[in-house]
Amino acid sequence: MADLLRRLLRTPQGAIGVTIVICIALLVALGPLLAPYSPEGLAPLNLYKPPSAAFWLGTDQYGRDIFSRLLHGARATVVMAILATSFGTLAGALIGTSSAFIGGRVDEAVMRTIDAIMAVPTLLMALLIVSTLGKSSTNAVLAIAIASTPGMARITRSVALAVRKQDYVRAAIARGERASFIIWREMLPNVIAPIVVEWTIRIAFAVMVFATLSFLGLGAQPPAPEWGLMVAEARKFMHLSPWMILWPSLAIATVAIGFNLLGDGLRDALNPRT
Amino acid sequence: MSPVLAIRDYTLDYLTQGGAVRALDAIDLDIATGEILGLVGESGSGKTSLAWAILRYLASNAREPKGSIQLAGEELVGMPVSRLGAIRGKRIGIVFQDPSTSLNPTLTLGTQLTEVLQRHRGLDAKAAEEAGAAMLARVGLHDPRAMMKRYPHEASGGEKQRVVIATAFACRPELIVFDEPTTALDVITARQILDLFAELQAQTRIASLYISHDLALVSRVASRVALLHKGRIVEQGDVRDVFARPRDSYTRRLVDAVPRAGSRLVHTQPSAETPMLELRGITVRYGRRSLIADLLRRPRAETIGSRDVSLDVKPGEIMGIVGESGSGKSTLARALTGLAAFEGEIRFLGRSVTSIRDMDDAYRRDVQIVFQNPDSSLNPRHRVREILSRPLLLHGDPAGRPLDQAIGESLREVQLGAEYADRYPHQLSGGEKQRIAIARAFASRPKLVICDEVTPSLDVSVQAAIIQLLVDLRGAPARARCSSATTSPSCARSRTASP
Amino acid sequence: MSLAYLLRRIGLTAYTLLVVSLIVFGVTQILPADAAAVLLGEAATPDQLAALRIRLGLNDPLWTQYLRWLGGVLRGDFGTSMRTGQPVAATMLEALGRSLLLAALSITLMLLVAVPLGILAATRRGRASDVAIGILSYVGVSVPEFVTATIVLLVLADWLQLLPATGYVPLTENLAQGLKHLVLPTLTVSVILVAHVARMVRSELVDVLHTDYIRAARLKGLPERRVLFTHALRNALLPTITIVALDVGYLLGGIIVVEEIFAIPGIGRQLIVAIQARDLPMIQAGALIMATTYSLANFAADMTYAALDKRIQYG
């Protein structure tokens, strides 16, 4: 692990990415403790205030402290995105590896169907699922998880197939190794690395989709301090206070950039040949 | 007469994180008009860097502390890039190693030929077309006009290389650099290209620098040869003199490493025992059924990898299997080790094996394989220790040694120190990786080891060492036999017991 | 490209559309909402509800309903909107036209900006302009459309008052005004597309510029301009076609958001409205049309790629 960290810090993407993500992790873990105010604390005398000593990032239309809402919202936005991506990755990895392992007609049929499912863009799929299940954070998570499964399945399968063709796997088969050894000790360590990279980058995407769903009113519902929702609400009061829109937007973008950079950094760090 | 190319005391450094690395040290070289100078060196010797230096296509971290390179008296070192345009292609030509990668896949062969004619000989489109066709005819391509309309993937390796050579000669440069032009071709085509080159050079009298790692090959065309070792020219002179009376120890090693028919490493004759391995009628098919093809009632596209092969291998024998690429050698190796389904019968130590299912643990222990490419036959995420321990854990150590000891002795057998056990494959050189692959194959004392083209990707001196290693391992207590698949007849000839 | 390949691609696209229709229908049919109740409202009696359900065929097994719907779709009949009572097909087609206009403008703008940016970044690799373009691309793909839209609205419409904020004017009515209203949405949608494609072009071109054949071309003494435009770009731009096709997916997502924010009555907007109102036939039609557009775009890209790529034998 320490070795991985060192390799990550060697590239600018890895270094910046891991820094941002660690900060995010801290915010998610400690956010609510660090928040100076309650996210729902109304202060009717302090509406639309710009950043000040009392309210570091300003206040919103109900006088709630934006900074505190951001800190609480970190959990809502980031954790949800990670959960959704992780479910999608697990499901996808399972489908992809099994399909690659079984091979032949079944594999071909499964992959063609996956390609067909991917003809429905992620946001659209998420919208459809949410429209059916109802608007809430949980349903949004489920929707994103389901929507990202086919993509992960396809990537897992192609990686598994590429590894399967390597001579060291052939050497293991020729030696007479058991299938379980080949899958766990020969293939999996080489398959996991690209999957982890993809997982990280998809978290960035999930953050954006989750925020978009909330923005459209189909994800988290008021008065939740979810960042996308904050931007949606802030739109009506743009001319009164640009800060209400600025901070949550910046937060979303920073998280997405951080995970994207980390993904790129991991790609280099996990490459065994460098 | 003044030489076409004169290199004096030329030195080249590369700036790296660890400081300046000297790639070329005080090089002195001359090439006269009409002369072919062979430059022989292994990978890492600097021969590629020298080619780049002459062409002035050096990397950004290259530094030239001293020396001069003169083309017909004109100094090239320090020449501004703007003037180089007049030199490249027009006065110095180059033929690269692999025509598949040095030709643009999205342009026709004709375009890639005529564009230099238009640029350097000032011809218009129509004249360039005519001249191009004439040149292609001269390099032995029939129907030049049709060839000019083709794309690279529609031509064979030999045809492509002829086009590249035609392009280089067409501009009538003063010097042409040939960077291993036949290495990527199969043996027969390579010979044809070599003959073509010799013929063209004799006709045009263009000074040529022929770079190669293969001393034997170079000695067939060059009149003079220079040997490059670790950036220095260790020997230079007439080809026959260098061969007959090598002065430098490195030269001597290279000359000795050249496999010669009649010089053998193995002197024992196989006993007239019953064969250990008999193959009868081995056929391997590849091919997939496509639904659309079935619907359209097309015949099933099937490739036959191996067709009805029968041969015997006696105990203690080294059997060389020689063939062109695509002749089915690797397929045979795969069938024998249970990696490809086959029809026919294998009789191993008296037992009959007719399918992969028949290959039990004993068979797997006794029949091992070493792959061609050491980069992909070792799992990049396993340390050497784990790689070597697998066969022992799987099949047990016949000598009953503790694991660490067995691994240490395996390493020693392939002439590597015990400290290699903790390393990862990417920390090893090509030769070292191949030794590990060999150690892994021999670890549990198999009775038959199949070596599938294990040397071509290595330098000649390393090849010789590996082959010697295999021969020596054969003699080790458990009498392992080796059957080798190779495209290099010279390698096989030095070892085969049966032709 | 052989007949077998063409048939195979067409067959696959047909299969894709079938699966898409199944997904769209299947996902929306899990809706617990009772279509009859939605139509008749709260005051309906159980008898009226039952009668309507029979008339709408809601008591039939799902498969029958699916086939009935699919049959209608293939004939061009998407049913009637539960919200407006108007035939869905007509509304959707009109909306689709507007969205396609927006999409076409966005893709054109994207190509005009992304390709030169990518080329610039690749040829000035490692230098200031490359790093700057790289950073901008990173930011571009990390900012969701609704954020870009909001910022663009804020700066260009509210503060600088350069362009109208929201609304739509058909081009046939007033070309100038119509285009003005389309500028901001097009800009917003293009941002992510440009970021993607510019990165792709750069990375492909960098790879190509390092190949042996480009090196050979340079050493043949060809001028750098010819090397770049005649030799390199052909190879670099081919894979870009695939990326542009994939980006149509992001484009569709972007269009949904952008139409909502800028109040453009395109298909995305219709979809959102339909989802809010739980208007089943509209949701199904909107989703199906969008997914079909994506599939057809991918099909077109495949065909273009196959026709242009000399290397691969498509058999």
Token readout for A189 is 């360590």
CB pairs below 8 Å between A and C: how many?
132
Q: What's the mean pLDDT in A135-144? A: 87
Which residues of chain B, if any, have pLDDT below 70? 1, 258-272, 287-306, 316, 323-327, 455-461, 474-499
> How far is the C-alpha of B441 from the C-alpha of B464, rounded, in Å?
19
> How far is the C-alpha of C5 from the C-alpha of B109, rounded, in Å?
27
More confident residue, B135 or A54: B135
What phi and psi, each to the nearest 5 degrees, are found at residue B308? 50, 55
Looking at beta carbons, which residues of chain B come within 8 Å of C214?
Answer: 104
Q: In angstroms, what separates the C-alpha of A13 from chain C's closest C-alpha?
A: 11
Q: What's the mean pLDDT in C143-163? A: 83
- With 0-12 CB in 10 A as exposed, 13-18 as middle and 19+ as buried, what is B269? exposed
Angle between helices C128-142 and C88-123 (to 10 degrees): 160
Report CA-CA distances (Å) from B416 to A244, B375, B402, B412, B464: 67, 18, 19, 5, 16
pLDDT for the residue numbered B139: 92
Across the interface, whether the CB atoms of A190 and B378 are under 8 A apart is answered no
Name the most confidently modeled range: A235-244, B286-295, B409-418, C46-55: B409-418
Across the interface, whether the CB atoms of A231 and C147 are under 8 A apart is answered yes
pLDDT for the residue numbered C177: 80
Q: In angstroms, what separates the C-alpha of A168 from chain B's closest C-alpha?
A: 4
Q: In angstroms, what separates the C-alpha of A269 from chain B's closest C-alpha?
A: 13
Q: In angstroms, what separates the C-alpha of C108 from chain B's closest C-alpha?
A: 25
DSSP string, C131-166: HHHHHHHHHHHHS-HHHHHHHHIIIIIIIS--S--S
Q: In angstroms, what separates the C-alpha of B91 from chain C's closest C-alpha?
A: 10
Across the interface, whether the CB atoms of A272 and B338 are under 8 A apart is answered no
Contact of C206 with chain A, judged by CB distance below 8 Å, is answered with no
The pLDDT-based confidence of C179 (bands split at 50, 70, 90) is confident
pLDDT for the residue numbered B480: 37
Q: In angstroms, what separates the C-alpha of A11 from chain B's closest C-alpha?
A: 15
Interface test with C, best of B87, B95, B102 (most C CBs within 10 A): B102
Across the interface, whether the CB atoms of A172 and B390 are under 8 A apart is answered yes
| Chain position carrying tokens 């009632």 | B297
DSSP string, B171-240: T--SEEEEESTTTTS-HHHHHHHHHHHHHHHHHH--EEEEEES-HHHHHHH-SEEEEEETTEEEEEEEHH
What beta strand segments (E) does B247-405 contain? 277-286, 303-313, 318-322, 343-348, 351-353, 367-370
Q: A78: which DSSP letter? A: I
Task: Give pLDDT tens digits for A167-213.
Answer: 898 899 888 888 888 888 888 888 888 899 999 999 999 999 988 98
What phi and psi, each to the nearest 5 degrees, are found at residue B495? -125, -25
Contact of C263 with chain A, judged by CB distance below 8 Å, is answered with no
Q: If you measure CA to CA, which chain A residue comes closest to B361? A: A176
The pLDDT-based confidence of A20 (bands split at 50, 70, 90) is very high
Task: Give pLDDT tens digits for A100-123.
Answer: 877 788 888 998 899 888 888 888
Q: What's the mean pLDDT in C188-200? A: 90
Interface test with A, best of B364, B366, B379 (most A CBs within 10 A): B379
Looking at beta carbons, which residues of chain A come within 8 Å of B426?
Answer: 272-274
Q: What's the mean pLDDT in A246-274? A: 86
Query: Is the pLDDT score of C37 beyond 70?
Result: no
- Calculate the average pLDDT of chain C: 84
Across the interface, whether the CB atoms of C294 and A119 are under 8 A apart is answered yes
Confidence (pTM):
0.79
Contact of C219 with chain B, judged by CB distance below 8 Å, is answered with yes
> How far is the C-alpha of A218 from the C-alpha of C273, rounded, in Å?
12
Across the interface, of B339, B371, B426, the residue whose CB is closest to A273 is B426
The pLDDT-based confidence of C32 (bands split at 50, 70, 90) is low
Contact (Cβ atoms closer than 8 angstroms) between residue B45 and residue B228: yes
Looking at beta carbons, which residues of chain B come within 8 Å of A190?
Answer: 379-381
Contact of B294 with chain A, judged by CB distance below 8 Å, is answered with no
ipTM given for this complex? 0.82
> How far is the C-alpha of B137 from the C-alpha of B76, rounded, in Å?
34
Q: If you measure CA to CA, which chain B residue comes closest to C235? A: B106
Looking at beta carbons, which residues of chain B come within 8 Å of A170?
Answer: 334, 339, 371, 377
pLDDT for the residue numbered C313: 52
DSSP string, B51-70: HHHHHT---TTEEEEEEEEE
Query: Is the pLDDT score of C311 beyond 70?
Result: no
| Chain position carrying tokens 């039939």 | C60
What percent of chain C stands above pLDDT 90?
21
Contact of B189 with chain A, judged by CB distance below 8 Å, is answered with no
Report CA-CA distances (Å) from B325 to B240, B375, B485: 32, 20, 11
Residue C81, SS3?
A: coil
Across the interface, whether the CB atoms of A176 and B426 are under 8 A apart is answered no
Across the interface, whether the CB atoms of C143 and A252 are under 8 A apart is answered yes
Q: In angstroms, what separates the C-alpha of B122 from chain C's closest C-alpha?
A: 13
